Structure 1
Amino acid sequence: MFRFITRRTLGALVTLLIIAACTFFLFFAIPADPARLACGKVCPPELLEQARHNLGMDQPLFAQFLAWVAGIFVGRDYEGLGNCPAPCLGFSFVNRAPVLDTILDRMPLTVSLTIGAAAVFLTFGVATGIIAALKQGKALDKIASVSSLVGASLQIYFVGTLALYFLVYQNHILQQPKYVPFTENPAAWAAGLALPWVVLAIIFTANYTRMTRSTMVEQLSEDYVRTARAKGMPGRSVVMRFALRGTLIPIVTIFGVDLGTLIGGAIITETTFGLQGIGQLSVKAVGNSDLPMLMATVLVAAGAIVVFNIIVDVMYAVIDPRVRLS
């Protein structure tokens, strides 16, 4: 298991390095001048040259990339801007502060939004899919199938707007979404994010219901499941010990991707509900042409997906020991 995890981790580090290189060269090779963006709209030529020197843009592009990567591990001193301690992802053109500080300030909201929503849609999606598979062809199965198809067709901005109108403004069933740190008030934390959790659950539960149902139906027809039933094993034990274990692999796959995507920034969700998380931060970075902030949010989003892919690989090995030998 240790060698398996080590191989996956080394592969992930190489992937992150490639992503960092692509991100850097993509944003610093575009026609827009980062130094002019950092200097401001009204920038005399001498200040523009000073900004280029402060940002290290008077060096070759590859040397700039090496300095940026080195700053992640050892920090970097931006002349005229300030010291950026490790891990340094650059200085924001807008707030003149290390971008990582801003990202860490927004991260708790995005993590809270992701964890709460994931707990809801994973629980209800898998449970509904199992029930639909066990009741295959019956009314409950058809209702679950139709509901999941409808849910998968909906969009967050549509469902979110309707939910805000009917549940918040019209009937006052739920409160206006807002973020309260969990350490300050757990009840207020849950109440402030309840509506985004419900909306995300409506969208994502559909995928988990359909995936769980289709995979569970296949597992229930496998020889080892029929053998367990023929030996007189109770139906619940057959489902939980045999069929469900085989069903978990595709569920873990999409769950890891969804978690990585949400941690990287649920842009539409945060915009719909006015939540100031990583998604909103990336949108504002685009509007303000804040390239260091935009680069950092892209790298964080990619890093989240890579990390959760490693976790998915490890879960594969836990669920199916044959994976460790492949």
Structure 2
Amino acid sequence: MLRFLVRRVLGAAVIVLLISAITFFLFFALPSQPALMSCGKNCTPDALAVINRNLGLDEPVPVQYWHYVVGVFAGRDLTVGHCPAPCLGYSFSNQQPVWDTIMDRFPTTLSITLGAAAVFLVAGVGLGMIAAAFRGTWVDKVVSSLSLLGHSLQVYFLGVVALAVLVSGLHWLDNPEYHPITEDPVKWFTGMIIPWLVLSVIFVANYTRMTRSQMVEQLAEDHVRAARAKGLRRRTVFFRYAWRGAMTPIVTLFGIDLGSLFGGAIITETTFSLHGLGRLAVTSVSETDLPTLMAVMLVGCTAIVVANIVVDAAYAVIDPRVRLA
């Protein structure tokens, strides 16, 4: 297991490095000059040259990337001063440390991701198990129909409807807003309810359908039928044999979804005007802000590869047949 995790971590580091290199070099393929954003309207060639030198944009692109990678692990000296590790540079648009901006936006995205993931995992798996347990009955048909309906909806549509009904119409909830959980847990919870519910409706449909199909498949396996023939209780067969065997693909899907959500829920944060990593990514692209864009990309791809490593390691716990050499 340890050797497997070491290999996976090394492979993940290579993937993150490749993604950062591709993003960095593609940025400079764009026909834009980031220094013009800091130069202003009355920009002269001499002033532009000074800004390029201060930002390190007067060096070859491979050299700039090397300095960037070294700065992430060891820090680096910039014109504005020493940038300690992990140094992600300074924003081209506001000249603020990118690391501070990431840490300021990070809790919002983390709250959206973990809260929504907990809701849609419990609700989706629970509804899928109910549909499988009552397969062929009206309960199964209702759950399957609702999951199909939820799968057809989109965040930007459902989010606007939720705001119009729950906030403006019924006045049951306030507008979504992030409050630090350490300062006021109640406001943190109430401010995140609508984003959690909206995201959950979309994802619950996927988990309901997958859980139902996997449970139906597992209930038809030979070892499950053998357990029934031995006279074990229906509940024991359902949870101890069928449910455990159905969890492997669900855990795989959950790891991918969790990493993707954590990488930046762009549509969700834009719909509810929440200042998280997803909205920061949109802003950095529109403003051609390479340091900020690189930081968001690194956080996003790191979240995805870490989630996949955790999922792979969890296989051995869920399914004893899996052996990690």
- TM-score relative to the length of structure 2: 0.96
Three-state SS of the structure 1 residue aligned to 2:32 is coil
Paired residues, number: 325
1:125-154 deviation per Cα after TM superposition (whole angstroms, max 9, x unaligned) = 000000101111110000111100010000
Partner amino acid for 1:69?
V
> Residues 323 and 47 of structure 1: is their aligned pair in 2 closer, same or farther, counting only changes over 3 Å?
farther
The answer for the alignment partner of 2:116 in structure 1 is: 117
Q: Superposed, which structure 2 residues align to 1:81-120 within 5 Å?
A: 81-120=80-119
**Structure 2 Cα separation of the partners of residues 288 and 30 of structure 1:** 13
Q: Which residue identity does 1:88 align to in structure 2?
A: C
* Equivalent residue, structure 2, for 1:178: 177
2:215 maps to: 216
Give the structure 2 partner of residue 279 of structure 1: 278
Amino acid across the alignment from 1:49: A
Match of 1:51 in 2: 51
Once residues 41 and 258 of structure 1 are traced to their aligned partners in structure 2, the CA distance between those partners, rounded to angstroms, is 44
Cα distance, 1:291 vs structure 2: 2.0
Please, which moves more after superposition, 148-157 or 51-60? 51-60
CA distance in 2, matches of 1:43, 1:246: 65
- Given that residues 196 and 273 in structure 1 are in contact (C-alpha distance below 8 angstroms), is that contact kept between their aligned partners in structure 2? yes
**RMSD after superposition:** 1.4
The answer to whether the aligner puts 1:165 opposite 2:164 as a matched pair is: yes
How far the C-alpha of 1:294 sits from its partner, in A, is: 1.5
What's the offset of the Cα at 1:28? 2.1
> Is 1:261 aligned to 2:266, yes or no?
no
SS at match of 2:77: strand
Partners of 2:41 and 2:251 in 1: CA distance: 48
How far off its partner does 1:34 sit? 2.7
Q: Which residue of 2 aligns with 1:29?
A: 29
SS of the residue 1:289 aligns to? coil
What stretches of structure 2 of length at least 5 have no aligned partner?
none
Deviations 1:273-293 (A, max 9, x none): 111111111112122222221
Q: Which residue of 1 aligns with 2:134?
A: 135
Q: Deviation per CA, 1:93-150, whole angstroms, max 9, x where unpaired?
A: 1221111110110110110111111111100100000010111111000011110001
For residues 41 and 100 of structure 2, what CA distance do their matches in structure 1 show? 25
Deviation digits for residues 32-74 of structure 1 (CA, Å, limit 9, x no counterpart): 1233334344322112112222222232221111111001001
Q: Show the 5 A alignment for 1:170-209.
A: 170-209=169-208
In structure 1, C-alpha distance between the alignment counterparts of 2:15 and 2:180, rounded to whole Å: 33
Q: SS at 1:199's partner residue? A: helix
Distance 2:257 2:61 in 1: 35
Task: Give 2:312's aligned residue.
Answer: 313
Counterpart in the other structure of 1:145: 144
Q: Answer yes or no: is the 8 Å Cα contact 1:4–1:324 preserved in 2.
A: no
2:300 matched to 1:301?
Answer: yes
AA aligned to 1:269 is: T
Tell me, yes or no, if the aligned pair for 1:178 and 1:193 is still in contact at 8 Å. yes
Cα 1:68–1:134 change in 2 (3 A) is same
- Please say which of residues 93-102 and 34-43 is displaced more in the overlay: 34-43
List structure 1 runs of 4+ shifted beyond 6 angstroms.
Answer: none
Q: Which amino acid aligns with 1:157?
A: Y
Residue by residue over 1:180-230, the C-alpha shift from the partner in whole angstroms, topping out at 9 and shown as x without a partner, is 111111111111111111111111100000010011100110011111111
Residue aligning to 2:72: 72
Percent identity reads 58
Tell whether the 8 Å contact from 1:125 to 1:208 is kept in structure 2 after alignment. yes
Verify: 1:241 aligned to 2:240, yes or no: yes
**Displacement of 1:320 after TM fit?**
2.2
Residues in 1 aligned to 2:30 and 2:283: alpha-carbon distance in whole angstroms: 19
Partner Cα separation in structure 1 for residue 160 and residue 183 of structure 2: 28
Contact 1:125 1:205 in 2 (8 A): yes
CA distance in 2, matches of 1:30, 1:136: 55
> Partner of 1:11 in structure 2?
11
The question of whether the paired residues in 2 share the 8 Å contact of 1:89 and 1:100 is answered with yes
